[in-house]
Chains A and B, each alone.
Chain A
Amino acid sequence: MAAAVGSLKLTLVCLVLLLVAVIYVYDRGGEGHATPPLVLPLTMLSINLFAAVVSNKTFRRQLPLLVFHLALILIIVLVALGRMTYLRATAEVLTGGEFSGLDRIEAGPWHWGRKDAIRFENLGFQIEYKPGLQRDSTRNKLRWRDEAGIPHTEEIGDQEPLVIHGYRFYVSPNKGFAGLFRWEPSDGSPQLGSVIFPSYPLYKDDQSSQWRLGEMNILTRLIIPGVLIDPQKPGWFRQPGEHQVTLDFSWRVATLRPGDAVQLPAGRLVYLGLTTWMGYNVFYDWTMPWLLAACALAVLALAWHFARKFAAKPWQAG
């Protein structure tokens, strides 16, 4: 039985099924459609490999081949565990503000990470641009607290994520401006809030955001006069010196500069000024180092196997 399941011919069938599944997943758009089609070929392949290791005496004679096949089984198991426990999300944090949670979360059903324990503060960022508005270096300073509550300051950027409790925060091209407001209701205490404008400079011509204040819908537009980042020459991401915001309440439109206020039926809305926000891509997958180790082991064992095999007969053709 084990010999039949571990047949080398069945391995060929499994590889064909894996090929078909990969093409199908790619055709369907990849991420989000990947897991179900890959379950069957990868399960079949792992059973086939395991049965081959158990039933085929070749593996007892050839240690590198045995290690290679065991490493392949380990890779499949780790990929499966990774898919069950991973998390992918985004986050947006105001400069000077605290991380307040993840958005657009996509996670495996067994995800058990400590995302509620993540605490960090965005201390500001610098982004350089090359001519043509091509994004160059990104540096972002953060303050985070360890398990003992001790604060640490760290600069992250291109290829350097912040790693907290296994969650990896990568700076993304998504960043921009946010308007800071104070709402002073007639019958309550003042509240501070922010309105995030779309990513800049990607949406520099449409810096508007819809939000609600009580029962009111407010369309807020950021107006920046002149050119903030000249596409003709090197530049950097910076806050505009002069700007204004327009608040469209549908029955009236108010134009405000920092410090200006607008009187509304239920209170007073004060525009405090502009700040920036940084968007992060967040990734969690505890299997990554183990997966890398298993892949390295597999490729080393395969190289060892081929080296032994080819050493038995000279390479020189003739």
Chain B
Amino acid sequence: MEQRELQILWVAVVSYVLSGVVAIFGVVLNKAPHRFVLGSLVLGIVLLSASLGLRWERLGHGPFITLFEILASNVWSFSLIFALAYWRYPPIRGTAAVVMPIIFVLLGWMALSSTHDGHFPRSFRTPWLYIHVGLSKLFLGTVLVAVGMAGVILLRRAGIGISRFASLPADERLDDLAYRFMALGIIFQTLMLISGAIWAQDAWGRYWAWDPLETWSFITWIMLAFALHWRLTMKSSPVLGSWMIIGVFVFAFLTFFGVPFITESPHKGAV
């Protein structure tokens, strides 16, 4: 990795860490340093964009191949979508204390992964790559925002931070808002699966082949559909609903960040 890309990346990491730490201490100390948290988060996004942009320019392809690239681009999309939610819905800003540690996990993993270049297969040179990957990032990002709210509900019920999260809406309202983001998530994930099928048909002559990544994505889709349908049918409590949101996120996280790196062919024929 070029020195300049690395320097900008590390400044971005520091910016993200500052944003997260201040957000967490803001909740702990019952302060509201929202402008600093948002400003630092946006600075991190801008710097990470610059670092990834330089890498893209140097390699001739976007951050779609190696573990480092996938983690870095997801830190970027997670933080961008959360920053938008943070800016647009002030009452849920306290959820940063739940969301930022998840972004820290990705940042730490990214820092430990190799920054080497990977082969960009011919089958990736299609607009469907951007559509498919973009939709997957929108799906994960919207579910992450829901996880922030679910985490607050569960922390409150566990007796942790009842007073600290007092400024956030009541559990029922948070639950309702979280499920709106889950509803957005299922739209994006359905579109992601459709665009992936179109791409797979063009690239490998089959729209579905039961490969690990597409199968686990579909399993995550079924779980998300189940969670949404359960909430509608059973009128479940915010606590149970929150556990379902966490469950869907865990499956989605393992699918997107685990499966591609534990199987020889994440998408058969992709490499």
Task: State the A residues within 8 Å of B (CB).
Answer: 8-9, 11-12, 15-16, 18-19, 22-23, 25-26, 29-31, 34, 88, 130, 132, 134-138, 158-161, 168, 170, 172-173, 281-283, 288, 292, 295-296, 298-299, 302-303, 306, 310, 313, 315-318
Instruction: Bits for B58-71, please: 1 = Cβ < 8 Å to A, else 0.
Output: 00000000000000
CA distance A176 to B92 in the complex (A): 60
Considering only residues 201-226 of chain B, those with a C-beta below 8 Å from chain A are 201-207, 209-212, 215, 218-219, 222-223, 225-226
Q: Of A18, A34, A172, which contacts B222 at CB under 8 A?
A: A18
B187: which A residues are within 8 A, CB to CB?
A: 299, 302-303, 306
Interface-side segment among B6-14, B25-33, B99-107, B227-235: B227-235
CA distance A29 to B102 in the complex (A): 33
| A286–chain B nearest beta-carbon distance, Å | 13
8 sampled A-B residue pairs with Cβ under 8 A: A8-B233, A19-B219, A29-B210, A132-B119, A158-B122, A282-B205, A316-B91, A317-B89
A22: which B residues are within 8 A, CB to CB?
A: 215, 218-219, 222
Interface-side segment among B37-45, B46-54, B75-83, B190-198: B190-198
CA distance A119 to B177 in the complex (A): 58
- B174 and A159: CB pair below 8 A? no
CA distance A318 to B172 in the complex (A): 11
Are A310 and B204 CB-contacts (below 8 A) given A11-B229, A317-B92?
no
| B143–chain A nearest beta-carbon distance, Å | 15
- B201 and A288: CB pair below 8 A? yes
A295: which B residues are within 8 A, CB to CB?
A: 190, 194
- A161 and B205: CB pair below 8 A? yes
- B180 and A315: CB pair below 8 A? yes
Interface secondary structure of A, over-half rule: mixed
Q: Of A30, A137, A173, which contacts B210 at CB under 8 A?
A: A30
CB nearest to B193 among chain A residues: A295
| B5–chain A nearest beta-carbon distance, Å | 22
| B95–chain A nearest beta-carbon distance, Å | 10
CA distance A295 to B218 in the complex (A): 14
CA distance A173 to B233 in the complex (A): 49
Q: Of B92, B119, B180, B211, which contacts A130 at CB under 8 A?
A: B119
- A30 and B226: CB pair below 8 A? no
B173: which A residues are within 8 A, CB to CB?
A: 317-318
Per CB-CB distance, the 4 closest pairs between chain A and chain B, nearest first, are A30-B210, A170-B205, A8-B233, A281-B205
Are A26 and B222 CB-contacts (below 8 A) given A281-B204, A283-B206?
no
- A315 and B194: CB pair below 8 A? no
A88: which B residues are within 8 A, CB to CB?
A: 206
B230: which A residues are within 8 A, CB to CB?
A: 12
B125 contacts the other chain (CB 8 A): yes
| B50–chain A nearest beta-carbon distance, Å | 28
CB nearest to B183 among chain A residues: A306
B186 contacts the other chain (CB 8 A): yes
**Which of B122, B202, B225, B226 gathers most chain A CB within 10 Å?**
B122
- A159 and B229: CB pair below 8 A? no
CA distance A217 to B234 in the complex (A): 70
- A292 and B233: CB pair below 8 A? no
Considering only residues 155-205 of chain B, those with a C-beta below 8 Å from chain A are 168-169, 173-174, 176-177, 180, 183-184, 186-187, 190-191, 194, 198, 201-205
Are A317 and B174 CB-contacts (below 8 A) given A11-B229, A19-B223, A30-B215?
yes
B191: which A residues are within 8 A, CB to CB?
A: 299
A302: which B residues are within 8 A, CB to CB?
A: 186-187, 190
Are A315 and B205 CB-contacts (below 8 A) given A9-B233, A22-B215?
no
- A31 and B233: CB pair below 8 A? no
- A23 and B211: CB pair below 8 A? no
- B226 and A12: CB pair below 8 A? yes
